[in-house]
Amino acid sequence: LKTLEKMRKDVRILLVGEPKVGKTSLIMSLVSEEFPEVVPYRVEEITIPADVTPERVPTHIVDYSGTKRPDLSLFSANVICIVYAVNNKTSIEKVTDHWIPLITENTDKDSRFPLILVGNKSDLVEHSSMETILPIMNQYSEIETCVECSAKNLKNISELFYYAQKAVLHPTGPLYCPEKKD
Ligand code: GTP
Ligand code: MG
């Protein structure tokens, strides 16, 4: 494992999720450290230099456009953040109805990579979405962790990207599940 960690040259984080859950806002909030009132539909891939990341590895962040067909960025990612909005039930349902199956279909079964569930817009609700999310976490071993955050008040934004880095560099669960193979 030590050797593997040293060999890892960079981390590629892909954000997916239903339209308008705040994928682009999350990325821009991280980069500018303030909530952008106006965001483009999609931002170009950004690279965070190693020396400003907690794990000291260059980190690329890719904004996935929900309406497009799955593209190659799905294959080159090391970790995928599935973003939902805590105030949008449909966006939570789509995590298991759409996004996890899409990711599974488009990745090699032997090279499963970690997923992180990201509940954005926590500023809009009083209650946590964890009750709904925990059963999903228990169902899919590839989900490394979950986090609730807000691009708007910058809550848990740097944590989210730190968890994503950490999921790649120091995975806690087995990413290879022999019993899942047919
Ligand atoms: P698409 O690119 O269209 O798929 O959307 P997206 O997932 O990139 O969402 P985007 O960042 O464009 O944000 C959608 C809307 O939600 C915008 O009006 C944002 O201002 C708003 N928004 C994003 N994050 C938050 C948040 O944390 N809290 C609140 N209250 N609004 C947010
Ligand atoms: Mg967007």
Of ligand 1's atoms, which has the minimum distance to the CA of residue 149? Answer: 27
For ligand 1, whether the C-beta of 36 sits within 6 Å is no
Residues with CB under 5 A from ligand 2 (ion): 23-24, 42
Q: What is the ipTM of this complex?
A: 0.99
Average pLDDT, the chain: 87
Q: What are the residue ranges of helices labelled H in the chain? A: 2-7, 23-32, 73-76, 89-94, 100-105, 130-139, 157-169
For ligand 1, whether the C-beta of 174 sits within 6 Å is no
For residue 64, what pLDDT is reported? 85
pLDDT band at 131 (very low <50, low <70, confident <90, very high): very high
For residue 7, what pLDDT is reported? 56
For ligand 1, whether the C-beta of 24 sits within 6 Å is yes
Instruction: Give residue-wise pLDDT tens across range 15-49.
Output: 999 999 999 999 999 999 999 999 999 999 999 99
The one-character DSSP state at 146 is: E
Q: Burial level of 58, CB count in 10 A (0-12/13-18/19+)?
A: middle
Q: What is the helix (H) or strand (E) element at residue 13, kind and residue range?
A: strand 11-17
pLDDT band at 177 (very low <50, low <70, confident <90, very high): very low
What is the average pLDDT across 119-139? 95
**Centroid of ligand 2 to alpha carbon of 30 (angstroms):** 14
**Centroid of ligand 2 to alpha carbon of 64 (angstroms):** 7
For ligand 1, whether the C-beta of 153 sits within 6 Å is no
For ligand 1, whether the C-beta of 20 sits within 6 Å is yes
